Structure 1
Amino acid sequence: MKKFRIKSFCKINLTLKVFKRFKTNYHNIESLITFCNLYDVITVRKIKGLSDKIKFSGKFKNKINKKSNTITKVLHLLRERNFFKDQAFKIDIQKNIPHGSGLGGGSSNAASLLNFFNSKMDLKINKTLLNKIARQIGFDVPINLEKKNTLLTNKEGKILRLNNKFRLNILIVYPNIICSTRKIFTRNKKFTLSKSQSNYYTKNKKKLINFLKKERNDLEEIVVKFYPKVGKIIDFIRLQNDCYFSRITGSGSACIGIFSNQKSAVSAKKLIRSKFPNHWCFVSKTI
């Protein structure tokens, strides 16, 4: 049977502000999110039988729960709503995005699979329901339904899609530390008290960079407290030539550096590999 190949892109939190914690223990956050050309590869095909065959491969396949993950949750929720009848799938996921890094690999996998099933199997799921199913899988999953620069507002997770392109030169460094999102958010004590004026919508790259340089990730302090190595990486990236700023993405542990040009980002990558030979590095351009 025909095999389909899907690219599942990673997300980058350029900024992340935590405003307050609700009684439900969920947090009210605001984040400017972009995507870059780092992606997992998912292959899907129909198979006979009643059981799905799901396989993870690649550099970052380890420590993923094989019985309960975002892929199994997508299949379960679609079957629960009777979108599939007696149909099993063979799904292979090549994990190129580090697991537990704050790069949203699992959420992206779920969103990519939802979009695939909806379009290729003609499920006719409207946007509202698609977002509802995505949210049931995970908080970040709806963000990944569209590969656009995105503002996650501090209004109960409302998502605003931005049409302007950022095209930032980015270096990603993953120190092989799996961060628990739940643990980091629960232990976080740093909150943004008031909403500042944003330049998310500017098409002037200089203004955008100047704005981003003044921003932060509120979770960085607690991540560095638990994992001091992350702080050393951030500082090292920041000191490299032509680096505008460096911080963690999401709840960590991946660190990002935004550079004025790709050549400097590549040079920084070489220096980091020399100083931290066991760390994984990647250079790309954001959308």
Structure 2
Amino acid sequence: MSGLVEEGRAKVNLTLRVVGRRTDGYHDLESVVAFADCADRLTLTPGAELTLKTVGPLATACGELSDNLVLKAARLLGEVVPGLKAGAFLLEKVLPVAAGIGGGSADAAAALRLLARLNNLPLDDERLQEVALEVGADVPVCLVSRACDMTGVGDNLLPLSPPIMPSVLVNPGVPVATRDVFAALGLRHGELRVGVGDVMTEASSWPEEGGSLEEWVEALAAGTNDLEEPAMRIQPVIGEVIAALNATNGAWLARMSGSGATCFAVYENTAEARRAADKIRSEHPAWWVHAGTLS
């Protein structure tokens, strides 16, 4: 049987509200998530042995393969699905790691989709959902890989229908550990940061299907990323990235994604996004820059 292929698309948090920290230490969030048109590529060749090989321009950044979320997802699924068929994974890594765009989570989600295809499991199989959340908070939304309003600890997903958004993604090449950013936020166990009613009101106010790009940008601009300020304290270069995006012509909204350090800007059209990306590449040749779309 030939290899099966899935893409792990970059996840972008267009907004991110931290509601509070639960007594178990996890954080409750409310985040509008979209997906970019840049992705890692994961191939599964069925076989008796579960293995993983990484290739591509950022393969060396993946660290120890034994800790990779692709293998973790496969092993956890194997624990709950008797006789799970698996095989050899080949990961072509092009997305930055520890970058706030869910690269590892997207790879794990792609692995679960591949295993679901190989084993004739529907994507709404409860075991897939449970394993996705156990692997990481971003894995459930990456599993569906479509725009959603994500609440709770990543377990509640409300599908959204934003228009295609011309965009530029920029990563300055510095990793940011999510746990460090949440630690810098400084919430105690059981501490609320915003009222639950405020978050629910905000979550229900996104434009309906057919809403224009202008309507969506206006709604998103009223939101925030609560992790942006603590992430900047850890890596001040994030502020430089946002300033560089804001300095380009036609940037309607610039913000950090996730826990950083990747930032994004939304533009009126793809031509402006490409020109902005060219400008940033010329001024900051060491930065990772992608011009494309979010949807």
Give the TM-score normalised by structure 2: 0.89
CA deviation map 1:164-213 (0-9, x unaligned): 23211110001111110111112114844432535323332222111112
Cα distance, 1:126 vs. partner? 4.7
Alpha carbons 1:28, 1:157 under 8 Å: kept: no
Structure showing the higher helix proportion among its residues: 2
Give the aligned partner of residue 99 of structure 1.
Answer: 97
Give the Cα–Cα distance (whole angstroms) in 1 for the partners of residues 40 and 153 of structure 2.
30
How many pairs were matched up? 283
CA RMSD, aligned part only? Answer: 2.0
Give the Cα–Cα distance (whole angstroms) in 2 for the partners of residues 271 and 216 of structure 1.
26
Give the aligned partner of residue 217 of structure 1.
Answer: 225
Structure 2 counterpart of 1:117, from 115, 118, 127:
115
Alpha carbons 2:162, 2:216 under 8 Å: kept: no
Give the aligned partner of residue 78 of structure 1.
Answer: 77
CA deviation map 1:238-258 (0-9, x unaligned): 121111111110100101011
Do the aligned partners of residues 156 and 269 (structure 1) sit closer, same or farther apart at CA in structure 2, a change above 3 Å counting? closer
Q: Does residue 270 of structure 2 align to residue 256 of structure 1?
A: no
Give the aligned partner of residue 22 of structure 1.
Answer: 22
Give the Cα–Cα distance (whole angstroms) in 1 for the partners of residues 125 and 283 of structure 2.
47
Cα distance, 1:214 vs. partner? 2.1
Give the Cα–Cα distance (whole angstroms) in 2 for the partners of residues 201 and 166 of structure 1.
10
Alpha carbons 1:47, 1:88 under 8 Å: kept: yes
Give the aligned partner of residue 280 of structure 2.
Answer: 272
- The AA in structure 2 aligned to 1:135 is L
Query: What secondary structure sits across from 2:25 in the alignment?
Result: coil
Give the Cα–Cα distance (whole angstroms) in 1 for the partners of residues 177 and 257 of structure 2.
13
Percent identical: 26
- The AA in structure 1 aligned to 2:114 is F
Cα distance, 1:124 vs. partner? 5.6
Q: Does residue 231 of structure 2 align to residue 199 of structure 1?
A: no
Give the Cα–Cα distance (whole angstroms) in 1 for the partners of residues 153 and 107 of structure 2.
25
Give the Cα–Cα distance (whole angstroms) in 1 for the partners of residues 99 and 170 of structure 2.
10
Give the aligned partner of residue 190 of structure 2.
Answer: none
Give the Cα–Cα distance (whole angstroms) in 1 for the partners of residues 283 and 256 of structure 2.
19
Alpha carbons 1:78, 1:84 under 8 Å: kept: no
Give the TM-score normalised by structure 1: 0.92
Do the aligned partners of residues 5 and 154 (structure 1) sit closer, same or farther apart at CA in structure 2, a change above 3 Å counting? closer
- The AA in structure 2 aligned to 1:53 is T
CA deviation map 1:20-74 (0-9, x unaligned): 11122111110000112111111111234xx423111112222322112211112
Alpha carbons 1:134, 1:142 under 8 Å: kept: yes
- The AA in structure 1 aligned to 2:4 is F
Cα distance, 1:156 vs. partner? 7.4
Do the aligned partners of residues 170 and 262 (structure 1) sit closer, same or farther apart at CA in structure 2, a change above 3 Å counting? same
Cα distance, 1:154 vs. partner? 4.6
